[in-house]
């Protein structure tokens, strides 16, 4: 991939905001921050346009609730065309975290995420998605 240099003119307030992003997210420079923001914008547009995305759905739940394992497994099988892998880790004697890696259209990925997060007994969860190049 070829890197091109170009000049950017920004109002002072926007430049201050960009510099805050660089500082807060610990980017090495403004260029890296701009790349990140452009990619985030592309992902946001991809979600709006229901394009293909990839991501990770993270669930935290009490593994002593036996039906949770089967409900989560059943949901992953229902969406097996999108589920790439999953990882289950025991955090302590009660809690576990499960990461489900997915790929598909944005609507389907979020539908699966919402269904998993809505299962009774899931304490916390989130999804992170990225546009597929």
* Confidence bin at 96 (pLDDT 50/70/90): very high
d(CA 9, CA 95) in angstroms, rounded, equals 50
**Mean pLDDT over all residues of the chain?**
94
d(CA 116, CA 99) in angstroms, rounded, equals 11
Q: Report pLDDT for 116.
A: 97
Q: What is the largest CA-CA distance in the chain?
A: 58
Name which of 65, 69, 53 is nearest 111 in CA terms. Answer: 53
d(CA 104, CA 117) in angstroms, rounded, equals 18
Q: What pTM did the predictor assign?
A: 0.83
pLDDT over threshold 80, residue 120: yes
At 30-69, the pLDDT tens digits run 999 999 999 999 999 989 999 999 999 999 999 889 899 8
**Percent of the chain scored above 70 by pLDDT?**
99
């Amino acid at each position: 991939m070829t890197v091109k240099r170009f000049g950017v003119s920004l109002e002072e307030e926007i430049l201050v905001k960009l510099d805050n992003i660089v500082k807060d997210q610990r980017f090495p420079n403004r260029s890296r921050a701009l790349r990140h923001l452009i990619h985030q914008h592309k992902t946001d547009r991809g979600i709006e346009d229901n394009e293909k995305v990839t991501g990770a759905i993270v669930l935290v739940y009490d593994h002593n609730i036996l039906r949770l394992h089967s409900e989560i497994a059943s949901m992953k099988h229902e969406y097996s065309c999108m589920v790439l892998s999953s990882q289950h880790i025991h955090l302590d004697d009660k809690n576990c975290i499960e990461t489900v890696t997915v790929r598909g259209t944005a609507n389907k990925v979020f539908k699966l995420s919402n269904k998993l997060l809505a299962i009774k007994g899931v304490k916390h969860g989130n999804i992170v998605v990225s546009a597929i190049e």
